[in-house]
Amino acid sequence: MASSLIGGLIAGGFDADCITVVEISADKRRLLTQRFGVAAVGKIDGTLHNADVVVFCIKPQQFKDVAQASAREIQARKPLVISIAAGIRTADVQRWLGGSFAIVRAMSNTPALVQTGASALFANTDVSEAQRSHAESLLRAVGIVEWIDDEALMDVVTALSGSGPAYFFRIMEGLEKAAEQLGLSKNAAHLLTIQTALGAAKMALECEEDIATLRQQVTSPGGTTEQGLKTMNENNIDQLLLEVLQAAQRRAKELADQLGGR
pLDDT digits (tens, 9 = 90+) for 30-86: 999 999 999 999 999 899 988 999 999 998 999 999 999 999 999 999 999 999 988
Count Cβ atoms within 10 A of the Cβ of residue 135 and give its class: 0-12 exposed, 13-18 middle, 19 or more buried: buried
List of domains in the chain: 2-161 (3.40.50.720), 164-256 (1.10.3730.10)
**Residue 113 pLDDT more than 90?**
no
**Residue 170 pLDDT more than 80?**
yes
What does the pLDDT read at residue 262? Answer: 60
The whole-angstrom separation of Cα 193 and Cα 182 is 14
What does the pLDDT read at residue 114? Answer: 87
β-strand pairing of 103-107 with 117-123: antiparallel
The whole-angstrom separation of Cα 136 and Cα 47 is 23
- Quickly state the pLDDT bin for 8 (edges 50, 70, 90): confident
What does the pLDDT read at residue 4? Answer: 86
Which among 234, 236, 237, 216 is positioned nearest to 225, based on CA atoms?
216
Q: Which residue has the higher pLDDT, 193 or 59?
A: 193
Q: What is the pTM of this model?
A: 0.89
